Amino acid sequence: MAEPNHSTRKGGNPVTAFFRGLYTEMAFSKESLRLNGQGLLFGLGVGLLVGVLGGLFDQLLAWADVLRNGTAWASLLLPLAGLVVVWMYRRGGIKTAGGTDLIIQAARGEQPVSRLLAPVVFCATVLTHAFGGSAGREGAALQMGGSLAELVRKGTGLGGEFQDLAIMCGMSAGFSAVFGSPITATLFALEISCVGILPLGALFPCVVSALTAGTVARGLGVHGMYFYLTASTPDALFYGRVVVLALACGLLSTLVCYTFSGVRAGLERLFPNPYLRVVAGSAVVMLLTALLGTKAYLGSGAAMIQQALEQGSAQPWDFWWKLLLTAITLGAGLKGGEIFPSFAIGACFGCVVGPLLGLPAPYAAGIGMVALFCGVTNCPLAALALGWEVFSFCNPQGFLMAVAVSFLASGYSGLYAKQKFAFSKSASPEGLAHTDRQEGGRPR
């Protein structure tokens, strides 16, 4: 006997069933519309606030670069700047070692965010850049965005159940304001806290905050990263070359992560006192800079990225010195971020290794930048968006392959110790088993 139609089961009238279902859907849509309206207003507010602050932040960092590169005395004051940074954090009662990990935990609702985090990390990052530290800017942007979004949430009376959404909105706004890449910013904010799970309920407000912050920051003079590359037509040989380079970048990402964590742990053991630690680390940065005879490795590394991508030029040792100086700077207690230096490390590495494999140097630099970003953050969707967004879909298949290989080759290491993994990175006899990374980057 044929199965009865669902609409006529239990003696129901099809017309009545239709209108009953329509009423239920409209009632649900009304509540959904209310919540999404709140998300729209919240995303706009956070985006405006973070975009304005991001514009100011960019201008101050530009001034800091001029001071650092244009004077002979600024770098001599790095230990003093470090003392001020440590004092500000201790005075504000903020965990100095937490950094972006604090925001990642807050995005999962595991701990609150200090109201002083935004102004303290803002000032600390400017001081680090102005007086000769080697650090990025995205760490400050993520932390400022998350802290300000949490203040907006509390100010508007939204309950604690919205903390994770607020933090993700702030992170996407901060990333977009600094880098000018709203697609990457949105996916990064959704991916970063728990690899393998995308909280798509936060997608709409994160998109709004990222687009708003990026637009406002551009209006205030912030220039995003956009490069035009050329590459050969994809074929089997091309993919083979990309696979080898991406595999090397995946392995390099493990070295990068363990260097950052190892240098930090070593300095903490040698100098338990944070004031003594920041002075000692700053002195080492000053000494190495003097011995190298160049300030090229200081700051965020933007000039290194531009040279590798536009001119196809990098020295074989550039990636190593940038890695080491950044690890010492951040491990000593100075502030900034690891992602932008990772861009520089990956671009320089790809620029040197790519031509040995037969890839054009600028395109290989782009592959290196994106693949290393994927490896150190474990955010393949954000990395893929970065490759397509920044390089205007130049040979996108190469970036797709590079991200997949680097994500697999990098294992469970990462820049952020508090990042969690919802699924295994690869198929196993147990399937895509749930796994959390413990200390040391190993899956449980």
pLDDT of residue 298: 95
If one looks up domain 35-219 in CATH, what number appears? 1.10.3080.10
pLDDT band at 28, cuts 50/70/90? low
pLDDT band at 269, cuts 50/70/90? very high
pLDDT of residue 27: 57
pLDDT of residue 163: 85
* Fold annotation for 236-421: Clc chloride channel (1.10.3080)
53-56 contacts at long range (C-beta below 8 A, 24 or more positions apart) = 53/118, 53/122, 53/144, 53/148, 53/177, 54/141, 54/144, 54/173, 54/174, 54/177, 54/178, 54/213, 54/216, 54/217, 54/220, 54/222, 55/177, 55/216, 55/217, 55/219, 55/220, 55/221, 55/222, 56/220
Q: Tally the C-alpha atoms within 13 A of residue 295's C-alpha that lie toward its C-beta.
A: 18
- Which is more confidently placed, 20 or 183? 183
Q: Does residue 209 contact residue 174 with C-beta atoms inside 8 Å? A: no
Greatest mean pLDDT among 70-74, 106-110, 194-198, 352-356: 352-356
pLDDT band at 130, cuts 50/70/90? very high
**Domain ranges across the chain:** 35-219, 236-421
User: Residues for the chain: how many in total?
Assistant: 444
What is the mean predicted confidence (pLDDT) over 254-268?
96
| pLDDT tens-place string over residues 78-118 | 999 999 999 999 988 886 666 788 788 877 777 778 788 88
Residue 337's closest CA among 284, 301, 375, 374?
A: 301
What is the mean predicted confidence (pLDDT) over 203-212?
94
**Whether the predicted pLDDT of 316 surpasses 70:** yes
Q: Is 17 exposed, middle or buried (0-12, 13-18, 19+ CB in 10 A)?
A: middle
Q: Does residue 137 contact residue 112 with C-beta atoms inside 8 Å? A: no
- Which is more confidently placed, 130 or 439? 130
Report how far residue 14's alpha carbon sits from residue 284's, in angstroms, rounded to the nearest whole number. Answer: 79
Span of 128-137, 144-153, 294-303 with lowest mean pLDDT? 144-153
The DSSP line for 124-177 is HHHHHHHTT-B--SHHHHHHHHHHHHHHHHHHTT--GGGHHHHHHHHHHHHHHH
Same-fold call for 35-219 versus 236-421 = yes
Q: Tally the C-alpha atoms within 13 A of residue 415's C-alpha that lie toward its C-beta.
A: 31
pLDDT band at 375, cuts 50/70/90? very high
